[in-house]
Amino acid sequence: ETGVTQSPTHLIKTRGQQVTLRCSSQSGHNTVSWYQQALGQGPQFIFQYYREEENGRGNFPPRFSGLQFPNYSSELNVNALELDDSALYLCASSPRRSDTEAFFGQGTRLTVV
């Protein structure tokens, strides 16, 4: 158990809808990163939040957005869902910004139909 929790665990949405995924970071961790993992691929970095500010972003369109709250929990929002957004979405928390190991939550499996 890493202490990182994500909700929901599974979700089915229709193309064009919007979705919000949630993550509670491990106690003492102020950095949260989000990753998308398609089947058979490694996780792809979406963005990172450090003390409520975005601290780096991967190659994802603006319809992927996020937030971090004062308690360091975080949300990932995806607008205008596309079929290719179907994936496992992983949240990882770290005790420090960058250059350190990340501990993953159990993930949210999103299916877009």
Partner 1 sequence: QKEVEQNSGPLSVPEGAIASLNCTYSDRGSQSFFWYRQYSGKSPELIMFIYSNGDKEDGRFTAQLNKASQYVSLLIRDSQPSDSATYLCAVNGPSSASKIIFGSGTRLSIRP
Q: Minimum distance between the CB of residue 89 and partner 1, rounded to whole angstroms?
A: 10
CA 13/CA 69 separation, integer angstroms: 25
Calculate the CA 90 to chain-centre distance.
5
Span interacting with partner 1, options 14-22, 47-55, 64-72, 74-82, rule CB under 8 A: 47-55
User: Do 102 and 3 meet the contact criterion of CB atoms below 8 Å apart?
Assistant: no
Binding flag, residue 67, partner 1 (CB under 8 A): no
Binding flag, residue 76, partner 1 (CB under 8 A): no
How many residues contact partner 1, by CB under 8 A? 29
* Phi–psi pair at 85, nearest 5 degrees: -80, -10
Binding flag, residue 106, partner 1 (CB under 8 A): yes
Three-class secondary structure of residue 84 per DSSP: helix
Residues that bind partner 1 (CB under 8 A): 2, 31, 33, 35, 40-45, 48, 50, 55-56, 58, 88, 90, 92, 97-107
